[in-house]
Amino acid sequence: MRKEWKYIVVGGGLCGLMVAYRLRGETLIIERKKRIGEPNHCGGVVSVDYERKLELGYVNTRKQNIYGFAIHTINGKKIEIETPKPCCIVIDRPSLDREIFRRISKDSEKTLEHGYVKEVVQDRGEVKIVLRDGETLRCERAIVGEGAQQVIRRKMGKGRLSAVPGVHMIVETKELDEHFNYLFLDERLSAHRLSYIISMGEDLYKIGVVDKGNIRKVVEKIAERYVRNYRLVGFEGGLVWLHGPLRMNFGRVYFVGDAAGHTKPTTGGGIVIGGIMSTQLAKNLNGEVVDKNEIRKIHNEILIMKFIRRILNKIDDYTLEKIVLNNKEELKKLLMEEYDWHGTTLLHFTTKAVRKGKLATFLLEAIKGIFKTR
């Protein structure tokens, strides 16, 4: 393997690939998995216009249009919030990663090597990349897109082990409506209220739970209770980062994606946020004009969502049910407006609703949420 590079990208997941795709100059990507995109861990729910936001042009990854959410509440109610046009889509995430990699492969200056990076060390004006097999490579700058486990980040003393495990049970069934995604407002299923069903089209669904503990048992319980007749296709899973943004840059080492905390603390979604931030980093390294407004907007969004997550963790299931039941139209508007920047939209919607005197309980809980930690 060649020892000296301009850039080395650690991790060939979406964000590492997005940086490598945009970077100009000799770039080595080191990925520990044998095949790009697999095994998958991601739900693949993104905004309808994600390709535009990621500046990718057309990518053939769309599996299903989603026309709203069916929300199951603690009291056994099913509340359908249906939108007249798709509010989000479900994509095949491995295909997205492979498509970006396919584009990278056309560039003769870029190479992928299979390997496990043990350590990233700053060393007198360059960066040393130490592989598990003992080999050491050198580069001018390293970009670490290692995902939510943050092993390298923690080794550098810059991270913490606090991502939450998530599991998907993939089932085939005719019992569900493929135009909806499903949410369960039930703290007993997930303390983060992240228990859901994602429609993948062709009668396939991902039943998901993000939480500590035996979450495989919890997804099975959801399947038994809400789906009943199904064929088990398989399980997948990974770690979800819900704690907000982290510092991106330490000298010549840059972190992107989940490793930089670029996910929504509300849902854990990181494809769009992580992808945009990775593109902006590559432009910065290339010396191109960077969209500072976009970066600021995303940073603020993540912080607002972190605030919303804290509030959400405070409100009990019964209050949440009341909020959803009393505000179906507003929630529909919210879904229609903007899927990715839902922090800002939700904040506007809340202030408007509070002004109308409709959401006094929400405001009360919000104030409690700010001053207490779980």
Ligand X SMILES: Cc1cc2nc3c(=O)[nH]c(=O)nc-3n(C[C@H](O)[C@H](O)[C@H](O)COP(=O)(O)OP(=O)(O)OC[C@H]3O[C@@H](n4cnc5c(N)ncnc54)[C@H](O)[C@@H]3O)c2cc1C
Residues found near ligand X in the complex (CB under 6 A): 10-16, 30-33, 41-46, 116-117, 145-147, 151-152, 166, 168, 208, 237-240, 257-259, 263, 268-271, 274
Q: Which is nearer to ligand X, 14 or 185 (CB)?
A: 14
Contact 274, 262 (CB under 8 A): yes
Q: In angstroms, what is the minimal distance from the CB of 236 to ligand X?
A: 7
Measured at the CA of 149, the angle between CA 144 and CA 151, to 5 degrees, comes to 60
Q: Which is nearer to ligand X, 255 or 307 (CB)?
A: 255
Q: In angstroms, what is the minimal distance from the CB of 301 to ligand X?
A: 13
Which residues face 279 on adjacent strands?
A: none
Looking at residue 82, the DSSP 8-state letter turns out to be E
| Distance between first and last Cα of the chain | 49
Q: In angstroms, what is the minimal distance from the CB of 265 to ligand X?
A: 12
Q: Which is nearer to ligand X, 51 or 258 (CB)?
A: 258
Q: Which is nearer to ligand X, 31 or 321 (CB)?
A: 31
Q: Which is nearer to ligand X, 198 or 359 (CB)?
A: 198
Q: In angstroms, what is the minimal distance from the CB of 59 to ligand X?
A: 14
**167 vs 206: CA distance, rounded Å:** 9
Q: Which is nearer to ligand X, 265 or 369 (CB)?
A: 265
Measured at the CA of 44, the angle between CA 41 and CA 47, to 5 degrees, comes to 150
Q: In angstroms, what is the minimal distance from the CB of 73 to ligand X?
A: 22
Q: In angstroms, what is the minimal distance from the CB of 206 to ligand X?
A: 8
Looking at residue 109, the DSSP 8-state letter turns out to be T
Classified as helix, coil or strand, 372 is coil
Q: Which is nearer to ligand X, 29 or 311 (CB)?
A: 29
Residue 351: phi and psi, rounded to 5, are: -60, -40
Q: In angstroms, what is the minimal distance from the CB of 10 to ligand X?
A: 5
Q: In angstroms, what is the minimal distance from the CB of 310 to ligand X?
A: 20
Q: Which is nearer to ligand X, 159 or 208 (CB)?
A: 208
Contact 175, 229 (CB under 8 A): yes
Cis omega (within 30 of 0) for bond into 39: yes
Work out whether the CA dihedral 226, 230, 232, 236 comes out positive or negative: negative
**271 vs 262: CA distance, rounded Å:** 9
Residues 6+ apart with CB under 8 A from 296: none
Distances (CA, A) of 136 to 31, 113, 249: 15, 13, 22
